[in-house]
Amino acid sequence: MRFDLVDLQLFVNVVEAGSLTAGAARSHLALASSSARVRGMEEALGMPLLLRGRRGVEPTPVGQTLLHHARLVLLQMEKMRGELGEFARGLKGQLRLLCNTAALSEFLPEALGAFLDRHPNLTIDLEERLSYDIVKAVSEGLADMGIVSDSVDMRGLQTFLFRPDRLVVIAAADGVHHRALGQDGVVAFSTLLEHDFIGLADDSAMQQYLGMHAARLGRPLKVRVRLRSFDAVCRMVASGVGISVVPLAAASRCQQTMALRCLELSDPWSVRNLTICVRQFSELPLYARQLIDHLKA
């Protein structure tokens, strides 16, 4: 078996993309060349690596084993490049980071900006996902690291505290919702479901998180307006159209310029920590380890 790094990267790309055509495009190879490489790997092993169907391809059991080892080899090569690169032109490499809505909107931009400013040769592929999807992706090697709510099961991963993150209710300071929510400053999520909500887009991790907790209570969220950012949500709430649940950091920042009332949620799931998760810290490239140290600080 004489598989080179191009073979291994191609195989990973094909499996992750679900088709030879898309995998070849990701690898910047012609389809014919990619097909020949995969067939050569299968002939060298004497057994198929992919199950081919009308909907694409998926790995056979031996393909799953190759996929696991290919990812380890490629990760080790990336680690070597990163560590050698520091001696040459500073940190250099590419990192895939998945995070939930709160981390992406409130904490990461400033923290990442400072780090990237010091390391101009480093690029980060940043994507918003639900916390449990992030844990699965990191566990399977589809992402280098993730930032999630500590409410999800992260067994098998190494974790580091990033930031505390409390969710709070906001309402217009002098609107009808302000009066309906009472004066004690603490409310249960179940009592909010009769009110109109200002929410984020359906594909946001935060909106799906709130929708999940509403579904557990057997009631839907009455979302009247959907927006793309916490700032826009806060402005709409301040106008008296509805209420919302947002991170305390966003509420506190917007209260400085908007007429908002902030209330605590009594539900235990509203108090959480944003947590960095990785498969194995010591196996990450140098630039990834330095980024985690930077974020922890």
**Residues 157, 277 within the same domain:** yes
Do both 82 and 100 map to the same domain?
A: no
Pair (66, 95) in one structural domain: no
266 and 277 in one domain?
no
Cβ atoms of 273 and 161 closer than 8 Å: yes
Of the residues 86, 107, 126, the one at which a domain ends: 86
Do 180 and 244 reside in the same domain of the chain?
Answer: yes
Residue 90 pLDDT level (bands cut at 50, 70, 90): low
103 and 244 together in one domain: no
Domain carrying residue 40: 5-86
Distance CA 275, CA 156 (A): 14
pLDDT in tens, 244-269: 999 999 999 999 999 999 999 999 99
Q: Are residues 41 and 116 in the same domain?
A: no
Q: What is the pTM of this model?
A: 0.65
Neighbouring CB atoms inside 10 A of 246's CB total 30
- Per-state percent for the chain, helix, strand, coil, to nearest 5: 50, 25, 25
pLDDT tens figures, 196-255:
999 998 888 889 999 999 999 999 999 999 998 999 999 999 999 999 999 999 999 999
| Total count of domains within the chain | 3
128 and 63 part of one domain: no
Q: What is the mean pLDDT of residues 178-207?
A: 85
Could you tell me if 41 and 62 lie in one domain?
yes
Q: Looking at the chain, list the stretches that DSSP marks H as alpha helix, in order from N- to C-terminal side.
A: 5-17, 20-26, 31-45, 61-88, 101-102, 108-118, 131-139, 176-180, 205-216, 230-238, 248-255, 286-296
The pLDDT, as a whole number, for residue 192 is 93
Residue-wise pLDDT for 111-136, tens only, equals: 999 899 888 878 898 999 988 899 99
Q: Domain of 107: which CATH number? A: 3.40.190.10
236 and 187 both lie in a single domain: yes
pLDDT-based confidence at residue 176 (cuts at 50, 70, 90): low
The predicted-structure confidence for 274-286, as pLDDT tens digits, reads as follows: 999 999 999 888 8
Torsional sign, CA 283, 287, 291, 297: positive
User: 165: which strand partners?
Assistant: 272
